[in-house]
Amino acid sequence: MAAAHSSRVLNGDRYSQVTRVLYRVLFLNLAVALIKIGLGITTGAVSILSDGFHSITDAASNVVALVGVSVARRPPDANHPYGHRKYETMASIGILLFLIIVVFEVVVSAVDRVRSGTAPDVFPQGIGLMAATVVVNLLVVTYETRAGRRLKSELLLADAKHTRSDVLTSVTVLAALLGVQAGFPVLDPLAALLVAGFIGHACWQIAQVASRILSDEVVIAEDDVRDVVRSVPEVVGCHRIRTRGSPDHVFLDLHLWLDGCTPLQEAHATSHVVKDRLMARYPQIVDVVIHIEPPPAG
């Protein structure tokens, strides 16, 4: 009971820290988005405006993530005996959907600009503001990535990837603005199309991570689990090792081989030793289910 209480406290503290990170990032993303959109409207540069809408989706994804975290932190209940952890992964899919919408909007805007041939009104101050937003985004990516790794949250890491794509798009837009100022207005819509490519790549990365979790892909290598189990002297061996979940929230079950003459009470005690060693070696494991059986004949 004490261990379970401690786990709930630690888990609750983790979610509180994730929430604080998201609120801070949300504020910065909103500020960057408003600057870009205002600058895009002022200059008429479709690349800046598209980048501004991309930043808006950064902020929107933060809101989706906050909703996901508020649900994911709920303890297990009768309808969700494994907890609500996958809601956080579902929130990362929400980020993916926002990105897909952005790709469509950017492509449409860029094609319209190529057809019209209109040149944006670029000025040095605008270029300076874009450069400043790149610096802010770099700080956000660094902060959120470090927090994601420290808290082992794929949601924060997915959101950081989203913002990282915003850094790449902003750098591309900045280069295009310099080209437009040098007399090459076609670089504005071309940069917008390149922005779509960057966002598409981020979509692919986030989809890969989410699909691995939702499809119950192996989280901890079977041989690694077996090495820990075999470190207990009374254990003859094990098989049917299965892990699933996310990197920071793993469920494990296995079949444990013990001598067929082992008394039930002693076998039960040995299974708890195995469980404790596994959870000590891999703190991300939240539950271990062990089936005790005699080793196979022969």
CA quadruple 289, 91, 68, 28: dihedral positive or negative? positive
Q: State which H helix or E strand residue 37 sits in.
A: helix 2-43
Judgement on whether residues 162 and 19 belong to the same structural domain of the protein: yes
Nearest CA to 63 out of 99, 18, 22, 93 is that of 22
CATH of the domain at 158: 1.20.1510.10
> If pLDDT is split at 50, 70 and 90, which confidence band does 6 have?
very low
* Model pLDDT for residues 153-189, shown as the tens digit of each residue: 777 887 787 777 778 778 888 888 888 888 888 888 8
Does the residue 207 lie in any domain? yes
How many whole angstroms separate alpha carbon 72 and alpha carbon 133?
Answer: 32
* Range scoring the smallest mean pLDDT among 16-20, 58-62, 213-217: 58-62
| Structural domain boundaries, residue 210 | 2-214
Judgement on whether residues 166 and 250 belong to the same structural domain of the protein: no
Judgement on whether residues 195 and 240 belong to the same structural domain of the protein: no
* Model pLDDT for residues 192-245, shown as the tens digit of each residue: 888 778 778 778 878 888 888 888 889 999 999 999 999 998 988 899 999 998
CA dihedral angle for residue 98, residue 102, residue 108, residue 111, rounded to 10 degrees: -160
The number of domains in the chain is 2
Does the residue 23 lie in any domain? yes
Judgement on whether residues 235 and 192 belong to the same structural domain of the protein: no
Judgement on whether residues 278 and 168 belong to the same structural domain of the protein: no
Judgement on whether residues 110 and 162 belong to the same structural domain of the protein: yes
Judgement on whether residues 251 and 135 belong to the same structural domain of the protein: no
Judgement on whether residues 201 and 258 belong to the same structural domain of the protein: no
Return the SS3 of 63: helix
Judgement on whether residues 170 and 235 belong to the same structural domain of the protein: no
Q: What is the mean pLDDT of residues 256-268?
A: 90
How many CA atoms, within 13 angstroms, populate the side-chain half-sphere of residue 88?
29
Spatial contact of 75 and 8, defined as CB atoms under 8 Å apart: yes
Does the residue 271 lie in any domain? yes
Judgement on whether residues 103 and 70 belong to the same structural domain of the protein: yes
Position 67: which residue type?
V
Q: Considering 195, 214, 233, which residue would you say is the last residue of a domain? A: 214
Q: Considering 196, 214, 232, which residue would you say is the last residue of a domain? A: 214
The overall average pLDDT reported for the chain is 82
Does the residue 298 lie in any domain? no
Q: Considering 214, 244, 275, which residue would you say is the last residue of a domain? A: 214
Does the residue 124 lie in any domain? yes
Q: Which residues are paired to 249 by β-bridges?
A: 246
Judgement on whether residues 18 and 143 belong to the same structural domain of the protein: yes
CATH of the domain at 227: 3.30.70.1350
Judgement on whether residues 205 and 267 belong to the same structural domain of the protein: no
Residue 28: C-alpha distances to residues 141, 150, 153, 173, 295 (Å): 11, 21, 20, 19, 59
Position 29: which residue type?
N
Asked whether the predicted pLDDT for residue 1 surpasses 70, the reply is: no
Spatial contact of 243 and 216, defined as CB atoms under 8 Å apart: no
Residues ≥6 apart with Cβ < 8 Å to 163: 25, 29, 58, 137, 140, 141, 144
Q: What is the mean pLDDT of residues 43-61?
A: 79
How many whole angstroms separate alpha carbon 105 and alpha carbon 149?
Answer: 32
Which strands, in side-by-side order, build the sheet including 249-257?
237-246, 249-257, 285-293
> If pLDDT is split at 50, 70 and 90, which confidence band does 50 have?
confident
